């Protein structure tokens, strides 16, 4: 189930974000979380089973463009379709948006879907 980030999830969110290749140091992670908490165009969502196991971070850009900035799943829960479910949930929630992403995330998404523009 897709749920919205809130402050009480900060530590688990930082843990999940730390699996991203460009989020390897604590300073960068703290800035990233702060950005999601304060910038109203940035949104973080989590995937909840019994526990929170995945995260997706997006930024809404002008002209109905949605940039996927972060996508990560707890290693113990990988290859069970959770990242695909996160991506599909965002697509279903923001149906009027053109979705773009970074090359590292596009490589994953292109594995599952084929119509994504690369940033
Ligand atoms: C990439 C990631 C989010 C996938 O999560 P997941 O829940 O295991 O993904 P799903 O179960 O929905 O899909 C798994 C499929 O994606 C493929 N895949 C995983 N990472 C991939 C990548 N970087 N590029 C292309 N395909 C990838 C797997 O091989 C698997 O393929 P299969 O179904 O044909 O066997 C997860 O491996 C992760 O958190 N990685 C670290 C964070 C990261 O690097 N994020 C940037 C890329 S999204």
Contact residues of ligand 1, CB 6 A cut-off: 19-21, 71-73, 78-84, 104-105, 107-108, 111
Inter-residue contact 97 to 63 (CB < 8 Å): no
Candidates 3.40.630.30, 3.40.50.150, 3.40.50.300, 3.30.1300.10; correct CATH number of 2-118? 3.40.630.30
Inter-residue contact 12 to 48 (CB < 8 Å): no
Domain positions in the chain: 2-118
pLDDT in tens, 55-102: 999 999 999 999 999 999 999 999 999 999 999 999 999 999 999 999
Spacing, Cα 80 to ligand 1 middle (Å): 10
pLDDT in tens, 15-68: 999 999 989 899 999 999 999 999 999 999 999 999 999 999 999 999 999 999
- Tokens for 46, please give them: 């989590």
Residue nearest to atom 32 of ligand 1 (CA): 79
Give the per-residue pLDDT at 24: 83
């Amino acid at each position: 189930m897709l749920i919205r980030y809130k402050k009480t999830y900060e530590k688990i969110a930082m843990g999940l974000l730390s699996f991203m290749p460009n989020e390897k140091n604590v300073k960068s992670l703290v800035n990233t979380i702060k950005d999601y908490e304060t910038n109203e165009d940035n949104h973080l969502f989590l995937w909840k089973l019994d526990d929170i196991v995945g995260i997706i971070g997006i930024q809404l850009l002008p002209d109905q463009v949605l940039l996927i900035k972060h996508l990560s799943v707890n290693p113990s829960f990988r290859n069970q379709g959770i990242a695909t479910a996160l991506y599909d949930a965002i697509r279903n929630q923001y149906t009027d948006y053109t979705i773009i992403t970074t090359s590292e995330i596009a490589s994953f998404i292109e594995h599952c879907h084929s119509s994504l523009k690369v940033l």
